[in-house]
């Protein structure tokens, strides 16, 4: 439904009131005008809004330029990451051993210890205990290329 | 009759709709200036001030006031005042620090507060703080006794000339300051965790600025992981098995558990940690 159709649709009962020819028709017309003016002004406001870049926007690097999110999804399947993590877009047992990886793209830290940059994400994915000896996450033996693909997939999770 | 009712109903509905729309436009258009350099209009200021005064009054009808007329207590209160209050409120002859001068609303001159507000109200504001102002709730960082000490000192404050205050300040300049803003208190005084108190503590230890926490308003950032489902999570922070004891340990000192973690030690008291854990374990 387009926006105009939505407005029309919601106006149906009022239109019916007008057709009955009561004094309410005036009010109905008034309400309709108010509604239409209001929505169009709001639409204008939304339309005009320019989104300014944040001070420190998410890191964009060459690192993942060759990486492929779809391949990453396949790697995630193959390594059974879902045995511990719930990952949107990857079917699994809704496991809650490690934290869910939803919003991984917006997360400020990887594992609560590394700034969430592609470099650090890949470093973490390749060998978590090398980064934090206390972590429960094992080294799964991902290759550099696999880690990059997985990172690319995780960065689709806003 | 029926027709009149209908006209009235439709008119009311239309007015309500128009009012809601106007309100929405006011909010969304951004015309309201949130900067601290713009004071409220006189009318809005008066309304907010009255809301605050009435709210405090309503909540302080049955506060038990301990004896305050005790020199030792006044002195202890002065040490707290010096460590935690003077920075924003100033004192006789002493200006607040620069950052506090930029606050809106401006921190009250406590001499005026002491002269005008009832003792129970002063204690209550120290303890609970005031929303949408710079006044924090001290009950999570001071014991009840310490907060009453501050009240006892405020009772003396209006009798001090700037010269008296400066002399007092000099005399106790070398005193060991009270432990800085540390959780000395248990919010509920109960051994077992209190879920509702735990949820409040989520605000008081600023958990909300980094974590998504279901059921806590304003907790929507992804600096740390979302705490949704934390009750069934196997590990805490990926390093500790998720047991209640480990949760207490983690909440009270994250860097002590994992020196690499970005989560700081927020000075959470044992009781507050219990309450917070109780709340977190409701998040299945």
Q: Which residues contact B86 (CB under 8 A, 6 or more apart)?
A: B94, B96
Q: Does residue B239 sit in helix, strand or coil?
A: coil
Q: What is the mean pLDDT of residues A132-154?
A: 96
Please, what is the average pLDDT of chain A? 81
Q: What distance in Å separates the CA atoms of residue B165 and residue B10, rounded to the nearest whole number? A: 66
Q: What distance in Å separates the CA atoms of residue B237 and residue B254, rounded to the nearest whole number? A: 9
Residue A103 — left, alpha, or beta (φ > 0 → left; ψ -120 to 50 → alpha)? Answer: left
Check CB contact under 8 Å for B238 and A112.
yes
User: Is A44 exposed, middle or buried (CB count within 10 Å of its CB: 0-12, 13-18, 19+)?
Assistant: exposed
B205: nearest Cα among B182, B231, B178, B236: B182
CA distances from B284 to A113, B121, B167, B243 (A): 25, 40, 58, 14
Could you read off the pLDDT of A21-35 as tens digits, one per residue?
Answer: 555 555 666 666 666
ipTM of the shown complex: 0.73
Q: Are the C-beta atoms of B17 and A35 separated by less than 8 Å?
A: yes
State in Å, rounded, how far the first CA of chain B is from the last one: 55
Segment (H or E) for A13: helix A3-19
Check CB contact under 8 Å for A108 and B21.
no
Residues of B in contact with A23 (CB under 8 A): 3, 7
Model confidence at A56: pLDDT above 90: no
Q: Does residue B235 sit in helix, strand or coil?
A: strand
pLDDT computed for residue A25 by the predictor? 59
Q: Which of A34, A103, A136 sits opposite B239 (nearest CB)?
A: A136
Check CB contact under 8 Å for A31 and B25.
no
pLDDT computed for residue A48 by the predictor? 59
User: Is A105 exposed, middle or buried (CB count within 10 Å of its CB: 0-12, 13-18, 19+)?
Assistant: middle
Q: What distance in Å separates the CA atoms of residue B180 and residue B93, rounded to the nearest whole number? A: 24
Q: Going along B169-269, which residue ranges are E strands?
A: 235-236, 240-241
Q: Does residue A148 sit in helix, strand or coil?
A: helix
DSSP letter assigned to residue A84 = T
Q: What is the mean pLDDT of residues A3-21?
A: 47
Of all residues in chain B, the one with the smallest CA distance to A83 is: B234
Q: What distance in Å separates the CA atoms of residue A99 and residue B25, rounded to the nearest whole number? A: 39
pLDDT computed for residue A52 by the predictor? 80
Model confidence at A8: pLDDT above 50: no
Beta bridge partners of B236: B240
Of all residues in chain A, the one with the smallest CA distance to B256 is: A134
Of all residues in chain A, the one with the smallest CA distance to B24 is: A42
Q: Which residues contact A157 (CB under 8 A, 6 or more apart)?
A: A87, A88, A89, A101, A102, A103, A104, A105
Q: Which residues of A touch B (CB under 8 A)?
A: 17, 22-24, 27-28, 30-31, 34-35, 38, 41-42, 45, 84, 96-100, 102-103, 106-109, 111-113, 131-132, 134-137
Q: Does residue A151 sit in helix, strand or coil?
A: helix
Q: Which residues of B touch A (CB under 8 A)?
A: 3, 6-7, 10-11, 13-14, 17-18, 21, 24-25, 28-29, 210, 212, 221-226, 228-229, 232-235, 237-239, 257-258, 260-263
User: Is B126 exposed, middle or buried (CB count within 10 Å of its CB: 0-12, 13-18, 19+)?
Assistant: buried
Q: What is the pLDDT along chain B (284 residues), one digit of tens a residue?
A: 689 999 999 999 999 999 999 999 999 999 999 999 999 999 999 999 999 999 999 999 999 999 999 999 999 999 999 999 999 999 999 999 999 999 999 999 999 999 999 999 999 999 999 999 999 999 999 999 999 999 999 999 999 999 999 999 999 988 877 765 555 454 455 567 999 999 999 999 999 999 999 999 989 899 999 999 999 999 999 999 999 999 999 999 999 999 999 999 999 999 999 999 999 999 98
Based on DSSP, count helices (H) and strands (E) in chain B, helices before strands: 13, 2
Could you read off the pLDDT of B62-115 as tens digits, one per residue?
Answer: 999 999 999 999 999 999 999 999 999 999 999 999 999 999 999 999 999 999
């Amino acid at each position: 439904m387009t926006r105009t159709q939505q407005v029309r649709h919601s106006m149906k009962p009022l239109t019916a009131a007008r057709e009955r020819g009561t004094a309410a028709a005036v009010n109905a017309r008034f309400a309709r005008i108010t509604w239409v003016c209001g929505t169009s002004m709001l639409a204008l406001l939304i339309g005009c809004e320019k989104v300014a870049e944040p001070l420190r926007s998410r890191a964009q690097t060459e690192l993942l330029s060759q990486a492929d999110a779809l391949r990453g999804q396949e790697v995630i399947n193959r390594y059974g990451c879902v045995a511990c993590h719930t990952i949107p877009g990857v079917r699994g047992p809704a496991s809650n051993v490690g934290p869910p990886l939803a919003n991984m793209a917006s997360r400020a830290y990887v594992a609560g210890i590394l700034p969430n940059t592609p470099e650090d994400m890949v470093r973490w994915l390749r060998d978590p205990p090398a980064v934090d000896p206390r972590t429960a996450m094992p080294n799964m033996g991902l290759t550099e290329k696999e880690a990059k693909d997985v990172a690319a997939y995780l960065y689709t999770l806003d | 009759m029926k027709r009149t009712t209908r006209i009235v109903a439709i008119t009311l509905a239309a007015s309500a709709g128009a009012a809601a729309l106007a309100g929405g436009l006011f909010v969304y258009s951004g015309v309201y200036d949130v900067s601290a350099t713009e004071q409220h209009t006189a009318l809005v200021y008066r309304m907010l001030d009255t809301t605050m005064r009435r709210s405090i009054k309503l909540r302080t009808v049955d506060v038990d006031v301990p004896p305050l007329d005790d020199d030792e207590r006044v002195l202890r209160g002065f040490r707290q005042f010096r460590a935690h209050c003077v920075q924003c409120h100033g004192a006789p002859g002493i200006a607040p620090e620069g950052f506090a001068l930029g606050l809106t609303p401006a921190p009250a001159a406590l001499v005026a507060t002491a002269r005008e507000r009832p003792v129970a109200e002063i204690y209550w504001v120290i303890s609970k703080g005031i929303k949408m102002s710079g006044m924090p709730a001290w009950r999570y960082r001071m014991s009840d006794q310490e907060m009453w000490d501050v009240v006892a000192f405020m009772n003396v404050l209006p009798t001090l000339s700037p010269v008296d205050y400066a002399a007092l300040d000099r005399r106790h300049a070398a005193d060991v300051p009270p432990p800085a803003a540390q959780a000395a208190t248990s919010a509920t005084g109960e051994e077992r965790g209190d879920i509702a108190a735990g949820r409040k503590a989520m605000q008081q230890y600023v958990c909300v600025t980094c974590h998504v926490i279901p059921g806590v308003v304003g907790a929507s950032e992804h600096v740390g992981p979302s705490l949704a489902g934390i009750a069934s999570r196997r590990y805490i922070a990926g390093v500790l098995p998720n047991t209640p004891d480990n949760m207490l340990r983690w909440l009270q000192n994250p860097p002590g558990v994992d020196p690499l973690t970005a989560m700081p030690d927020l000075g959470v008291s044992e009781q507050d940690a219990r309450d917070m854990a109780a709340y977190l374990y409701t998040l299945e």
